[in-house]
Amino acid sequence: MLFARPSGGFNIIETPEVSRRIGAAIADWPALAHGWAALKARLALVGHREGTKVDGEGAGYFVISTDCLGLPGLPEVTALYQILGSDLRLLSVLIRNGAE
């Protein structure tokens, strides 16, 4: 399936669980707030091309893993998202400390 990005970028929508997990992680890694904001900004513009497509329960599911743009000392963040129309919905997030 092909996706077309809206001219102003996708509307980023986080589930409450994603917001809760990111908020808890920011308590441990305050600089993660910048990395998470940068990831969402990037997904708004290139989420339809950047993530890895997930086969299965319907169209439009992707996963992306990032080291938060290489900022030292921050964990790896893996996010599951779905593109549906002009919305990019962040459905789940896994936060792993690189030392683990």
What tens digit of pLDDT does each residue of 2-20 get? 567 788 899 999 999 999 9
> Residue 100's pLDDT is what?
46
Q: What is the pLDDT of residues 37-70, one digit of tens each?
A: 989 999 999 888 888 888 776 678 999 988 755 6
Q: Please state whether beta strands 87-96 and 11-14 pair in parallel, antiparallel, or not at all (unpaired).
A: parallel
Angle at which helix 32-50 crosses helix 16-28, to 10 degrees, equals: 140
Instruction: Tell me the C-alpha distance between 68 and 31, whole Å.
Output: 10
Domains of the chain: 11-95 (3.30.2310)
Distance linking the first and last C-alpha atoms of the chain: 36
Locate all alpha helices (DSSP H) within the chain, ordered by sequence: 16-28, 32-50
Instruction: Tell me the C-alpha distance between 46 and 7, whole Å.
Output: 11
The token pair at 44 is: 């708004």
> Residue 37's pLDDT is what?
93
